[in-house]
Structure 1
């Protein structure tokens, strides 16, 4: 949690503050960014951000994606997708756009699970 982001101060009562040692330790323990390890083989990951998200500023998942990519030793895809229309979840977009985002997430999962209809097609050689 970052208390200096727009949504940060409102989370202090629930999650704690970095200004108190015991709360800082709890925040550090739940922070995925600080648990990324160099040389680890990470699974396939789709990381998303909404450019208009007032709850999670878009640089936070971007920074997370960059650190995972820099430290990963697997051949699994690590993708970062920015929604330049939406905000947090499906807020700020119409229903079709929201469903499209969910569809992309399910398509990624289906691809990684090996479902035949979601695998890249081989190019046709002439």
Structure 2
């Protein structure tokens, strides 16, 4: 099963066509998009319930969605993969550092991961209303309580992780993915790889169709290889 989500900025994650989801399902996988507090699916109260001092609720909702996939028989233990981008990358970073044993693999794309320094680069200052600021002591404690980079612990068996960043990203600086990759490689006792995919000459989102296909294919192949999902008509990865 591949679980993803966003849960931030009041964004509504409405169903729409996604070719990467079709590829995963055609290969025999299960795809799930979790509706999380912090989004806008249930109105502004739902958004506020997952932002600022309440941000942990977003991560708890994501963990509960993973538990539901197992309890309902949609996934087997050790075969749940997670993926997220931008604020969803923060979500995945929190998931793999708070409950590393829950997931077989994670793809963390253009993420925010060092929540003590997110204000220092890119569009970070504009996100203070959503996350809070380290300049406020109470808000700093909240940020550090879930900041994925600061929760990496030596000796923990982390799942296989692919961090994807772009060197021209003016929103989420690639420093987040680079630092997190180094920290996880140093800390993990797990057998799975921890890799950095750095794409040059592109920014946060927009890129040529050929590059979109390459990114999605590599991310899905990485996850499929970790959970044992076969490519359509092919051998097991």
TM-score range (shorter-chain normalised) is: 0.7 to 0.9
Which structure 2 segments of 5+ residues have no match?
Answer: 1-114
Structure 2 residue 162 is the aligned partner of structure 1 residue 46: yes
The one-character-per-residue Cα deviations of 1:4-45 (angstroms, maximum 9, x if unpaired) are: 112111011111111111111111122100111110011101
In the alignment, which residue of structure 2 is the partner of 1:74? 190
How far apart, in 2, do the equivalents of 1:84 and 1:20 lie? 35
How far apart, in 2, do the equivalents of 1:37 and 1:118 lie? 32
- Further displaced range: 36-45 or 95-104: 95-104
Q: Which has the larger radius of gyration?
A: 1
Structure 2 residue 110 is the aligned partner of structure 1 residue 110: no
Structure 2 residue 177 is the aligned partner of structure 1 residue 61: yes
- Further displaced range: 62-71 or 22-31: 22-31
CA RMSD of aligned residues (A): 1.3
- Work out which structure has the larger RCO, using CA pairs closer than 8 Å and 6 or more positions apart in sequence: 1
In the alignment, which residue of structure 2 is the partner of 1:101? 215
How far apart, in 2, do the equivalents of 1:6 and 1:62 lie? 15
How far apart are 1:58 and its partner, in Å? 1.2
Asked if 2 retains the 8 angstrom alpha-carbon contact of 1:107 and 1:118, the reply is no
Q: Number of matched residues? A: 117
How far apart are 1:118 and its partner, in Å? 5.3
**Alignment match of 1:84 (pick from 185, 196, 200):** 200
**Alignment match of 1:30 (pick from 146, 158, 173):** 146
Q: Which runs of 4+ in 1 moved over 6 A?
A: none
Asked if 2 retains the 8 angstrom alpha-carbon contact of 1:16 and 1:23, the reply is yes
Which structure 1 segments of 5+ residues have no match?
Answer: 120-126
